[in-house]
Structure 1
């Protein structure tokens, strides 16, 4: 990927988005007010039942590619299976908008969700979870920390699907066509141009000195991932601090597998485990 212009990667992703075929009760696009000029979101509602819980979803794409269409089919299915309202975030992308623009957008959406806006009428914003894949998983880690630091309402839990906790290649032996060490540094260079800034918790939440008081976490890693060990070390540090962590490594799977539910049995298995985890979290809060 690092040898392809980012504009071409964005076009290729858009062209190969999985078509949505699962009917959803209601889908709505909206724009969340923000200091950055507004954050587009897509809201999936499985029914009109009152008191539904909420999942804020952040997509993958190395902080530089991705959009609201990327996980359309996956999020429809997740909304229905979990009986949760899903708010998918179209955060600003690098290199046009480097760090912390994406994180700022995700925080703006979280504050909007917890403010009980008209678009989320009748939902139970006290039962809300943040979740993301890859770059979105890294944003999930960073957002949880930022909300704690700011004294804002915390999510009931955080779900990170191979989100990179530190901007460091810890497993160069696991390069694939989907993600190589060169790709990692290329993406990080767009999101955080100055390497010295990559040790900031905004960019590398796994380097934050204090992990106390963070929400429970489901941390999923893939065996074949150049950044795997750095993320698993963060999960262990969370556990040592007393944060409840469910750490699951998928052997034989590569970075990027989670949303490939139609072709990978492991992805389908993980989907069911995410639904079960959400059910447990939401039930405990009733």
Structure 2
């Protein structure tokens, strides 16, 4: 039996961590990256955190890079369009936003999970390389996301779909922040959204933020550090665009699925968000994956069992929503 990773004794005494979560924590003790260690250049931390991400499997299909026009970026916003050979003639299109606290992450790091989703649904996945803080403060990432979404809505056939292809948004962690906000702003043409352990309130003022303040994996200190890098001033943390939980009107949202990790300071934000959606009369579902840690979804090579449970729920939800739309 493997040794219990240090620092999680209290959590392990109350809850049962899945074996995949335990083995991930063990690997982090030897290979982990301190994301907020200011003595290490930010680019080095970004590079090292990307190395610890999932490794790509062989993919039967195509990955093509496009550049979405943007007034802020002369060369455009880079996106990867991932299409499996198994796609039907009228495929669903997923617009995917990676996580990383709006400071870390890249489309390259999340290409493995995008390829798995493209293969398993099957569908076309648009994997977005939005601008990161602190080089590009709020609302740069959200503007990039809106530009890409509007471009995809107008260019379905160009990227391998048809004019009748249904479009859904998928966002992990801080990518869920972007996806959730976009669904409030672009209210036509989106059939569903899937938010995976989303960061919906930059102020982090929920019971799970207290219970899991020190992790494992994601700590409130990391969240606050990232929020400070993203916003232009502390008051902006409550801007409804940056923190969708502060939105007042939820009636224009599409059907929503929230996939949650059990051991995650962000968990209760998602439940609160789901209640607001349902109170507005919009369909909303959630599934908390027992024994899981924040970050499990986008590492399909490590979290084989937990990741499969989440993807099976996601695929069933998407097929149901597309069939009824």
Q: TM-score category by the smaller chain? A: over 0.9
Any idea what the Cα deviations from partners look like across 1:21-60, whole Å, max 9, x if unmatched? Answer: 2323111011111122111000011236432110000001
From 166, 188, 197, the counterpart of 1:127: 166
From 36, 60, 63, the counterpart of 1:2: 36
Any idea what the Cα deviations from partners look like across 1:179-208, whole Å, max 9, x if unmatched? Answer: 111100000111113110111111111111
From 289, 294, 301, the counterpart of 1:262: 301
Asked whether the equivalents of residues 134 and 229 of structure 2 are also in contact (C-alpha less than 8 Å), the reply is yes
Displacement of 1:262 in angstroms is 3.1
1:247 corresponds to: 286
**TM-score, scaled to structure 1:** 0.92
Any idea what the Cα deviations from partners look like across 1:192-237, whole Å, max 9, x if unmatched? Answer: 1311011111111111111112111001222211122122101111
Distance 1:42 1:173 in 2: 38
> Size of the alignment, in residue pairs?
281
Displacement of 1:126 in angstroms is 4.5
Q: Does 1:275 align with 2:275?
A: no
Distance 2:261 2:157 in 1: 38
Equivalent runs, 1:137-148 vs 2, <5 Å: 137-148=176-187
Displacement of 1:95 in angstroms is 0.3
2:258 corresponds to: 219
**TM-score, scaled to structure 2:** 0.82
Displacement of 1:63 in angstroms is 0.2
Root-mean-square deviation (CA), in Å?
1.7
Equivalent runs, 1:98-117 vs 2, <5 Å: 98-116=137-155
Structure 1 pair 124–278 and aligned structure 2 pair: CA distance change class (3 A):
farther
Partner SS for 1:88: strand
1:27 corresponds to: 63
Distance 2:51 2:266 in 1: 27
Any idea what the Cα deviations from partners look like across 1:49-81, whole Å, max 9, x if unmatched? Answer: 432110000001100111121122211111011
Superposed structure 1 runs of 4+ greater than 6 Å apart: none
Asked whether the equivalents of residues 75 and 86 of structure 1 are also in contact (C-alpha less than 8 Å), the reply is yes
Partner SS for 1:236: helix
Q: Unaligned stretches of 5+ in structure 1?
A: none
Displacement of 1:14 in angstroms is 3.0
Distance 2:293 2:55 in 1: 23
Asked whether the equivalents of residues 24 and 76 of structure 1 are also in contact (C-alpha less than 8 Å), the reply is no
